[in-house]
């Protein structure tokens, strides 16, 4: 028979294995995402040039970036990233906000972090360019200039959400600890008697 400590180690390993498998599950694949091109003028007036429009994340390009520069870029959502390919050489206005607002399904785990990949142009490294909340990403391209063929990528990291089997394994582990404790007490009482 296995010792209580080896049972506890086995339960802990099974819990970690399950949690690791849950963290590698698909995030965006098959979900609905939305895109809006947005301009906020200095007087605070907000004008939506395009959208929000919706698409389902699959193997193709989800959106062709529009606004006044129709078809200037393609947005391709994958499981944990969003890739942008500039099709032309746009220049953006000096207004408080001009750029993209991307929405993720509220049924997804909230976003923990959003960052540009290391190969992204330095034009995005300024403050205030990228912001996000639980299910929305905003990219402010104000005063930016791009070249046709330029690419950049956003990496998305969801907050970990334990799945039902993780809770079940944790409860099983607690049960093993409880049973081993009861057995130890019973053995101690038998020795004392």
Closest of 106, 95, 88, 116 to residue 49, by C-alpha: 95
Q: What is the pLDDT along the chain (193 residues), one digit of tens a residue?
A: 555 555 555 545 454 444 444 444 578 889 999 988 888 888 877 787 778 889 999 888 888 865 544 577 888 998 889 998 888 888 888 899 988 899 999 888 999 999 888 877 666 666 678 999 999 999 998 888 888 888 888 999 998 866 666 666 777 777 777 788 888 888 888 887 7
Instruction: Note if the pTM is more than 0.85.
Output: no
Strand ranges, E, within 57-106? 63-65, 73-77, 81-86, 97-104
Closest of 116, 126, 127 to residue 151, by C-alpha: 116
| Domain boundaries defined on the chain | 4-24+163-192, 32-158
């Amino acid at each position: 028979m296995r010792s209580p400590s080896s049972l506890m180690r086995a339960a802990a390993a099974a819990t970690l294995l399950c949690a690791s498998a849950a963290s590698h599950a698909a995030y965006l694949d098959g979900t609905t995402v939305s895109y809006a091109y947005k301009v906020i003028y200095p007087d605070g007036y907000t004008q939506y040039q395009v959208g929000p429009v919706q698409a389902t994340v699959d193997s193709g390009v989800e959106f062709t970036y529009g606004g006044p520069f129709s078809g200037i870029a393609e947005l391709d959502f994958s499981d944990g990233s969003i890739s942008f390919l500039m099709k032309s050489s746009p220049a953006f206005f000096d207004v408080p906000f001009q750029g993209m607002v991307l929405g993720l399904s509220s049924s997804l785990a909230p976003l923990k972090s959003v960052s540009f990949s290391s190969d992204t142009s330095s034009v995005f490294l300024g403050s205030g360019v990228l912001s996000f909340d639980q299910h929305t990403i905003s990219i402010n391209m104000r005063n930016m200039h791009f070249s046709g063929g330029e690419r950049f990528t956003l990496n998305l990291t969801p907050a970990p959400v334990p799945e039902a089997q993780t809770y079940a394994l944790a409860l099983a582990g607690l049960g093993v600890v409880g049973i081993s404790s009861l057995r130890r007490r019973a053995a101690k009482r038998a020795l004392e008697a």
